[in-house]
């Protein structure tokens, strides 16, 4: 038994979206996004992540550290590495015109990204992500499709800088 198709649901496609990209590539889907009142750079959108994660330094820069619910818990990554989270915080993510509240795990660990938006956010806004096309698309009421574009050049530049520093 499948999921019923709703007649008024817009179709999301990516047919012409490779135009303008530096191809071929294996780039991560890295975006800028508004969280609360701040635009956060270098946020990795990752369907493989069961959690939304933000760096403690980002929360501090936003002036929201007092809102963190302190909770020392472990977070196990794909490679089995364990990180201890500082706590959790509920924040609004703005994907115009959609605004949704999400819980973030807060970590204090070096990362190439300021945050990760995982399946909780992706599924909440009913997004379709494409790392190949460097885009996120999601339905907006009224039969319109919202879109967030990755900044491929920014992501590549930052990763290249990180690789130089680690050598």
In this structure, the strands spanning 98-107 and 52-55 are parallel
- Under a CB-based contact definition with an 8 Å cutoff, are residues 30 and 151 in contact? yes
pLDDT tens per residue across span 39-59: 999 999 999 999 999 999 999
Q: Is residue 44 part of a domain?
A: yes
- Under a CB-based contact definition with an 8 Å cutoff, are residues 109 and 115 in contact? no
Q: Is residue 18 part of a domain?
A: no
Q: Is residue 1 part of a domain?
A: no
Boundaries of domain holding 145: 30-166
Q: Is residue 7 part of a domain?
A: no
Q: Rounded CA gap, 47 and 87, in Å?
A: 22
- Under a CB-based contact definition with an 8 Å cutoff, are residues 155 and 42 in contact? yes
Q: What is the pLDDT of residue 6?
A: 52
Residues 6 or more apart whose CB falls under 8 angstroms from that of 49 comprise 116, 117, 118, 119
- Under a CB-based contact definition with an 8 Å cutoff, are residues 34 and 94 in contact? yes
Q: What is the pLDDT of residue 9?
A: 61
- Under a CB-based contact definition with an 8 Å cutoff, are residues 75 and 64 in contact? no
Q: What is the mean predicted confidence (pLDDT) over 9-36?
A: 84
Percent of the chain with pLDDT over 90: 59
- CATH code of the domain containing 36: 2.40.70.10
Q: Is residue 119 part of a domain?
A: yes
Q: What is the mean predicted confidence (pLDDT) over 130-157?
A: 90
Q: Is residue 5 part of a domain?
A: no
Q: What is the pLDDT of residue 166?
A: 65
Q: Is residue 160 part of a domain?
A: yes
- Residue 69: pLDDT band by 50, 70, 90 thresholds? very high
| CB-facing half-sphere around the CA of 4: CA atoms within 13 A | 3
Q: Is residue 8 part of a domain?
A: no
The one-character DSSP state at 18 is: T
Provide the mean pLDDT of the chain: 88
Q: How many domains does the chain have?
A: 1
Q: What is the mean predicted confidence (pLDDT) over 19-42?
A: 92
């Amino acid at each position: 038994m499948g999921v019923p198709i709703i007649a008024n649901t817009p179709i999301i496609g990516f047919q012409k979206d490779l135009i303008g990209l530096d191809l071929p590539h294996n780039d991560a889907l890295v975006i800028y996004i508004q969280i609360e009142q701040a635009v956060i750079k270098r946020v990795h959108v990752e369907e493989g992540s069961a959690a939304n994660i933000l760096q403690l330094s980002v929360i501090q820069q936003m002036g929201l550290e007092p809102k963190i619910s302190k909770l020392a818990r472990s977070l196990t990554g794909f490679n089995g590495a364990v990180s201890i989270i500082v706590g959790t915080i509920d924040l609004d993510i703005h994907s115009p015109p959609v605004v949704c509240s999400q819980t973030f795990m807060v970590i204090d660990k070096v990362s190439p990204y300021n945050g990760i938006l995982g399946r909780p956010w992706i599924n909440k806004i009913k997004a379709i992500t494409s790392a190949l096309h460097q885009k996120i698309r999601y339905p907006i009421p009224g039969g319109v499709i919202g879109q967030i574009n990755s900044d491929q050049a920014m992501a590549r530049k930052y990763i290249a800088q990180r690789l130089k520093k680690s050598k």
